[in-house]
Amino acid sequence: MVFLAKRAQASSAFLVDRSYGIRQVPYGEQRPLSASGHHAELDSLPGFDREVRLNDEWLPVLDFRGLLENDQFLNAVA
């Protein structure tokens, strides 16, 4: 599962899950990936900078805008 956020400041995101497909859900608490015990390795990847709490699970957030502004990503898909 991963959250896909249209904007970093949004309080809801799209949850992608094989079982349920894609759905928009609100989330509450968030923290930087650098403070994560589970997803800290994602902090070095473009588009990932935080994770959010949904129920009792912390999920990484992929920020599309941050990803699309990254030259390395754009060169890879060009």
Q: Where are the beta strands (DSSP E) in the chain?
A: 2-5, 12-17, 21-26, 30-32, 48-54, 57-63
DSSP annotation of 33 reads G
Residue with tokens 């030259």: 71
What residues make up the domain containing 19?
A: 2-77
Angstrom CA distances, 68 to 12, 30, 74, stand at: 20, 22, 7
Domain count within the chain: 1
Decide if 74 contacts 15 (C-beta within 8 A).
no
Condensed to tens digits (0 to 9), the pLDDT of residues 3-56 reads: 555 555 556 666 666 776 777 777 778 888 888 887 878 888 777 878 888 778
Token readout for 61 is 């957030």
Residue-level pLDDT at 59: 82
